[in-house]
Amino acid sequence: MSSTVAKALTLLDHFSEEVPELGLSDLARRAGLEKATVHRMLSVMADAGLVEQRGTSRLYRLGPGVLRLARVREKVFPMSAALQPALQALVAETGETAHASLISGRALATIEVIESARASRVSLVAGQILPFHSTASGHAALAFAAPELRERVLGSALAAITPHTITDAGALRAQLAAVRQGGFAVCDQGNEEDVHGIAVPVFHGDGLAAGAIAVATPAHRMTEDLRRQIIVVLFREGAKATFAAGGAMPLPYRQAMEQTLREMGAAG
């Protein structure tokens, strides 16, 4: 039974700002499931308001039920609202594109993107599911997440998204240890050619990572100075967002942050 519910819910992963509507055949193909099975699952999910099918195209899109759920969650545990000012500050101070993502069960979900105002900038799709192993946000979140999630990702197939993606579990494990040590994650073109990502974790009240905030820069523009500047702003805004969301930075993370700032000569 669990696997049927799991498969049904996985259908939702295929909807993003880039792909807001999907036909039955297309969705079945993407999910690798029988059309008849997907149709039954979609009917049940439509009944619950999670998807809906409108107009003459018969395309499926996410349903109004998700608005109710988000409203309930955000009202009581405001996370989206806590991350918004962090992204605004990041874009204002670095001039680059900033985004926030949250650990959402087995996946990392981008929930907010603010793009740089520059003509040459990284353009990201909000609402996308990001791989943990090929993104700076994924590394930052995973390094400070519950050990079970970390081991699960390390034990799964690590696909080569670009020639730069870390595909070896041992190498990824070492990378995550380095992230824990420095308090930030850098991923140079691991998920997309010419995109350089830097990310820091945002924490829940229990001291485990809730997700990450990140700055994405065209790789050819990255310099040591810009990198240092981005890390300083990320540390400050990550701490503020954690605080605003009612979270708590664990002591080892605060120490890692201070150590990095000292090494960069930016500490106070």
- Binding residues for a second copy, rule: CB under 8 A, are 1-2, 4-6, 8-10, 12, 15-17, 20-21, 40-41, 43-50, 52, 54-56, 61-77, 79-80, 102-107, 109-112, 126-127, 129, 204-206, 210-211
**Closest approach of a second copy to the CB of residue 125, in Å:** 9
Nearer to a second copy, 112 or 237 (CB): 112
Please choose, from the candidates 189, 196, 203, the residue with its C-alpha nearest in 3D space to the C-alpha of residue 102: 203
Identify the DSSP state of 243: H
Q: Residue 71 or residue 262: which is nearer to a second copy going by CB?
A: 71
CB of 76 to a second copy, least distance (A): 4
117: which 2 tokens?
Answer: 């105002």
Least CB distance to a second copy at residue 26 (A): 16
Closer by beta carbon to a second copy, 106 or else 180: 106
Shortest Cβ distance from residue 67 to a second copy (Å)?
Answer: 5
CB closer to a second copy out of 67 and 160: 67
190, amino acid identity:
G
Min separation Cβ 182 and a second copy, Å: 25
**29/54 with CB nearer a second copy:** 54
DSSP of 130-178, one letter per residue? EPSTTSHHHHHHHHTS-HHHHHHHHTS----SSTTS---HHHHHHHHHH
Residue 173 CA to residue 156 CA, distance in Å, equals 13
Separation between Cα atoms, residue 211 and residue 38, nearest integer Å: 30
* Short-list 260, 210, 219, CA closest to 83: 210
Is the distance from CB of 152 to CB of 222 less than 8 angstroms? Answer: no
Give the span between the Cα atoms of 158 and 175, in whole angstroms.
14
Tally of CB atoms within 10 A around 236 = 17
Classify strands 129-130 and 185-188 as parallel, antiparallel or unpaired.
unpaired
- The nearer residue to a second copy, 126 or 169, going by C-beta atoms, is 126
The partner residues of 196 in beta bridges, in order of sequence, read 188, 217
Query: Smallest distance from the beta carbon of 257 to a second copy, in angstroms?
Result: 23
Token pair recorded at residue 242: 């954690």
For a second copy, the closer CB: 33 or 232: 33
What minimum distance in Å lies between the beta carbon of 256 and a second copy?
23
